[in-house]
Structure 1
Amino acid sequence: MTNIKFHSGENIPLEMHKVRIVQKLNLPPIERRVEAIQEAGYNTFLLKNEDIFMDMLTDSGVNAMSDRQQASMLEADDSYAGSATFTKLENKVEEIFGTKYFLPTHQGRACENILAQVYVTPGSIVPMNYHFTTTKAHISLNGGQVEEIFLEEALNLTSDVAFKGNVDIDKLNALIAENGAEKIAFVRMEAGTNLIGGQPFSLANMRDVRKVCDEHNLLLILDASLLADNLHFIKEREEQYQYATIRDITREMADLSDIIYFSARKLGCARGGGICTNSEDAYMKMREYITLYEGFLTYGGMSVREMEAITIGLEETMDEQMINQGPQFIAYMTEELVKHGVPVVTPAGGLGCHVNASDFLPHVEQSAYPAGALAAAIYIVGGVRGMERGTLSEQRDENGVETLSAMELVRLALPRRVFTLSQVKYAIDRIVWLYENRDLIGGLEFVDEPKVLRFFFGKLGTTSAWPQLLADKFREDFGDSL
């Protein structure tokens, strides 16, 4: 980690890069922001980019590429089959993960689809440290059932536990004993549990999970999409690895896994994904699905230019001063909000700063989607687009009953090397003001509700005229300021 002390005593993250290409931003007036969120059905996914000042929806596919990545894209070999570009990527994956077989895909959820089609059968169970929305959807569509076996501490939003993404080993053993190993499709570990605040797991915990899998002849599958953050936290928080290299930590995690998959929209700062393994049996089972769903085996739905960029991006992920940038800025944002009493997930995890909507809006019932309402309110007061990670991101059960989420979070992602410190401070300022005026925010209700993945394209309305009341108060306090 870059250890820079400031004379002021402030703990300020320092950008370890310089900006050489810029993109103009637009901050619409608050009247337009109220109109825009209404047009989007109070769903931040449906906002248009022209109406957004800071896009903190996700870090997927929007991380800034390095100069080396941009340059590499000019070297791409555009062959349909046998591309030299694919060979470069395949070799880099083998070098970093030590895996013999690599199957390219267009992004991470394509990997999930293929893994679910191959390994999930009706009635089978997939234990995991926490689910991700698309992962759960693919497993469910193939008749499987997700069982979350996280630590109880994982749902304690305010905590000092370093590895809240760990698997509860006792729960894993009990699940196997109750259902039988034959019903377990595979065990999944997500590096950096997305839906509970980007919380990491430890390598010690992964070794314990590996032992259980070996005892019962079970596959251990690693979702490495947020691996970069998890690598950083292992080095920072797990004493045994404080002097290990990022490359060595990566290899140990890979050696503990039977199959690794990743979204390069996150890991590698480009657009694509892939599945890697040392098992010829697993490779042969999945291979035909690549051609069926993704494309030929040497591009898998990716542009060769993106593959060139991924190759460089994976190599850059082995640089400690590259992967520490996201977590440092997230920690800064989290700590500043804590200073002002804003409820957030602690300790700060990866991917983004996570605001606790339940405590931010205790007056909004969970059935009125407080995290969705808070995400809309943050956009209204700042032009900052975050993502709801709560009940809105769930789906109703087979009887149409609402599934209430264990957490109501608004994720404010910090894409790598995209925002400056002044922009992060701006977002903090607007959220602090909003917290001071939180009683003005009301709930939401569906007006157009898809049955699957409703948070992507569902539309909602407000339960009162609270957006305009919020805008009026903003104008009262800020005048003509945007």
Structure 2
Amino acid sequence: MSKIKFYYGNEVPLEMHKVRIVQKLNLPPIEQRVEAMEEAGYNTFLLKNKDVFMDMLTDSGVNAMSDKQQAAMLEADDSYAGSTTFTKLESKIQEIFGKEYFLPAHQGRACENIISKTYVKQGSVVPMNYHFTTTKSHIVVNGGRVEEVFKDEALKITSDDPFKGNMDIAKLRDVIETNGVENIPFVRMEAGTNLIGGQPHSLQNLHEVRKVCDEYGILLVLDASLLADNLHFIKTREETYQNKSIREITREIADLCDIIYFSARKLGCARGGGICTNSKDVYMKMREYVTLYEGFLTYGGMSVREMEAMAVGLEETMDEEMINQGPQFIEYMSNELMKKGVPVVTPAGGLGCHINAMEFVDHIPQSEYPAGALAAAIYIISGARGMERGTMSEQRDENGNETLSHMELVRMALPRRVYTLSQINYVVDRIAWLYENRKLIGGLKFVEEPSVLRFFFGKLTTTSQWQQELVAKFREDFGDSL
């Protein structure tokens, strides 16, 4: 995707692809959307797709595949062991990341399970630039805990810092010294910090983290699931790398890390994942867990057709015109919302447009899940399904007390090569209207609360009848419009 300046208008993103296959969408009336939201327990994860107009819940497993990926899937070798398809994928991993050993897994959290089972024990402490929900859960389940060592700028909603995902090096040293090297199994960097707005880390910062890891003899692990966005930001925001190719930047990142794992549901626009390393010792320690939890070493719980698509998708990720669509669409949506006064995370990051629910619905206390309430309200008035990234995405402490999130965000994800600008403009219009009527939105409370990863399948209800007031105002302003 390129940015094109129109003679009669503003500079806008221009898709560098054409659509050859289409899928019909459905926009139910607002009254049906309220019924669907109530049935889903005000949890957008539990909505049925038939009731969703634009699915902006995630970019995981829902990115559009290319024609070359679809064609490659017809060449798959279904052998249980020694599959030619696996060899093709393994060779692509070796070519792009320069890692000799590759362990396949069915998705990113499976990789987290294997890494945690291998290295985390009771009393382990894992420093990271910011946690991700499933990562933290795997570490805690295995007896460890997470120490976030982000810099102060990371939690500023409005900022001009291009790399809010950087790790604070001084804090990293302090965590290591305080807890002891023997209790630090690895340091984890996330390329594109999911929970604070898809904010990237710089390549310079990764070099600095590597230096600290070398000093203390600690493994450096990279979650590369959102690497594509982070590559774009390094190339466009980090002056040192503006003349480097995406392939060159990728290899430099990979060379700094002992272990790289990823979800291909994000990286490569396929479904699967994997772990790669240059250490035979690391490979041998993890290998048995792949066979135990995932499947044989040459498929790891994945369909071979998806493995063929992944190999092509990873190669396509090396193309700047492919990986820049997400960040540029996100930037466009964020800018349009800001023009209308809607508070969003800046600078625009990867994965999706992140709305600041803490400010949007500042009348709702965090104990009533403002980001969850806003996500529900956005669906009700637009049919667009986003995701809560706030206190609902945390879990209670050992005493049952609520753990309040650093941020209350609603993420409107933008799957790659899926939506058009007119569809994005529709969502912008509805969110802008909602912002003008934001005081109508009320809070939520749990009626069914799992103890772990409650945001996936917990159910809530409203603290008042605010949803009915919202519908009445919508009908007053929009009439019979959907």
Interval containing the TM-score (normalised by the shorter chain): over 0.9
Aligned to 2:297: 297
Aligned to 2:90: 90
Aligned to 1:200: 200
Following the alignment from structure 1 to structure 2, what is the Cα–Cα distance between the partners of residues 147 and 384?
Answer: 34
Q: How big is each residue's C-alpha offset from its partner over 1:345-398, in whole Å with a ceiling of 9 and x where there is no partner?
A: 000000000000000001000000000000000000000000000000000001
What are the equivalent positions in structure 2 for 1:77-476 lying under 5 Å apart? Answer: 77-476=77-476
Determine helix, strand or coil for the equivalent of 2:153. Answer: helix
Following the alignment from structure 1 to structure 2, what is the Cα–Cα distance between the partners of residues 375 and 160?
Answer: 26
Alignment of 1:46 onto 2:46: yes
What are the equivalent positions in structure 2 for 1:50-89 lying under 5 Å apart? Answer: 50-89=50-89
Aligned to 2:28: 28
Aligned to 1:17: 17
Following the alignment from structure 1 to structure 2, what is the Cα–Cα distance between the partners of residues 143 and 11?
Answer: 51
Deviation at 1:435, TM superposition (A): 0.2
**Aligned residue identity for 1:411:** R
- Contact 2:197–2:350 (Cα < 8 Å) also in 1: yes
Q: How big is each residue's C-alpha offset from its partner over 1:163-190, in whole Å with a ceiling of 9 and x where there is no partner?
A: 0000000000111111111111100000
- Contact 2:229–2:327 (Cα < 8 Å) also in 1: yes
Following the alignment from structure 2 to structure 1, what is the Cα–Cα distance between the partners of residues 325 and 159?
Answer: 22
Structure 1: segments with no counterpart, 5+ residues: none
Determine helix, strand or coil for the equivalent of 2:139. Answer: helix
Following the alignment from structure 2 to structure 1, what is the Cα–Cα distance between the partners of residues 433 and 133?
Answer: 31
Following the alignment from structure 2 to structure 1, what is the Cα–Cα distance between the partners of residues 9 and 201?
Answer: 31
Deviation at 1:214, TM superposition (A): 0.1
Determine helix, strand or coil for the equivalent of 1:4. Answer: strand
Deviation at 1:100, TM superposition (A): 0.2
Deviation at 1:3, TM superposition (A): 4.3
Deviation at 1:309, TM superposition (A): 0.2
Following the alignment from structure 1 to structure 2, what is the Cα–Cα distance between the partners of residues 12 and 116?
Answer: 43
Identity %: 77
Following the alignment from structure 1 to structure 2, what is the Cα–Cα distance between the partners of residues 83 and 95?
Answer: 19
Determine helix, strand or coil for the equivalent of 1:311. Answer: helix
Q: How big is each residue's C-alpha offset from its partner over 1:253-306, in whole Å with a ceiling of 9 and x where there is no partner?
A: 000000000000000001000000000000000000000000000000000000
- Contact 2:76–2:304 (Cα < 8 Å) also in 1: yes
Following the alignment from structure 1 to structure 2, what is the Cα–Cα distance between the partners of residues 272 and 448?
Answer: 31
Q: How big is each residue's C-alpha offset from its partner over 1:65-122, in whole Å with a ceiling of 9 and x where there is no partner?
A: 0000000000000000000000000000000000000000000000000000000010
- Contact 2:2–2:13 (Cα < 8 Å) also in 1: no
Following the alignment from structure 2 to structure 1, what is the Cα–Cα distance between the partners of residues 39 and 9?
Answer: 45
Deviation at 1:4, TM superposition (A): 2.1
Determine helix, strand or coil for the equivalent of 2:116. Answer: helix
Deviation at 1:11, TM superposition (A): 2.0
Deviation at 1:9, TM superposition (A): 4.2
Q: What is the TM-score with the length of structure 2 in the denominator?
A: 1.00
Determine helix, strand or coil for the equivalent of 1:13. Answer: strand
Structure 2: segments with no counterpart, 5+ residues: none
Q: What is the TM-score with the length of structure 1 in the denominator?
A: 1.00
Determine helix, strand or coil for the equivalent of 1:332. Answer: helix
- Structure 1 segments, 4+ long, off by >6 Å, are none
Determine helix, strand or coil for the equivalent of 2:121. Answer: coil
Following the alignment from structure 2 to structure 1, what is the Cα–Cα distance between the partners of residues 113 and 271?
Answer: 17
Following the alignment from structure 1 to structure 2, what is the Cα–Cα distance between the partners of residues 443 and 124?
Answer: 37
Following the alignment from structure 1 to structure 2, what is the Cα–Cα distance between the partners of residues 196 and 142?
Answer: 25
Deviation at 1:6, TM superposition (A): 1.1
Number of residue equivalences: 482
Determine helix, strand or coil for the equivalent of 2:13. Answer: coil
Following the alignment from structure 1 to structure 2, what is the Cα–Cα distance between the partners of residues 11 and 149?
Answer: 37
Aligned to 1:481: 481
Q: What CA RMSD, in Å, does the superposition of the two structures yield over aligned residues?
A: 0.6
Following the alignment from structure 1 to structure 2, what is the Cα–Cα distance between the partners of residues 116 and 325?
Answer: 33
